[in-house]
Structure 1
Amino acid sequence: MKRHNLLSLTFLFSLVISLSSCSVIEGIFKAGVWSGVLLVVVVIAVIIFIIMKVMGK
């Protein structure tokens, strides 16, 4: 096994041991929620921008 792969595997193993599964899942869902909120805000802003351009002509 290459040294880089062994180092990555060791890091991943220590990360899994140091974090409980609940906190890992919680972090993933928090990131997902904020990504979703940001995406919805951007989509609404683009729709409003398009409507303003169409109505402004």
Structure 2
Amino acid sequence: MPLRRGRIGRPGLLGTMARTAVITGTATAPPVDLVGKLRQLSELHSAGALSDAEFAAAKKQLLG
């Protein structure tokens, strides 16, 4: 039985649509796990890896 390799030739409709969405800027970004990111920042801050100023700046950037 021969090994199947990837698709050869022109891309399928879905691939073309996805590339078009990215190029035109209509592709949506995956949702951000805001609570998870804030928890991670808090843990870094508690462990001393982030200063108060760094923690506040990172939190402000996440929250907008």
Higher relative contact order (CA 8 A, sep 6+): 2
Which structure: greater helix fraction?
A: 1
Fold conserved between structures, TM > 0.5: no
TM-score of the two chains, using structure 2 as the length reference:
0.31
TM-score of the two chains, using structure 1 as the length reference:
0.33
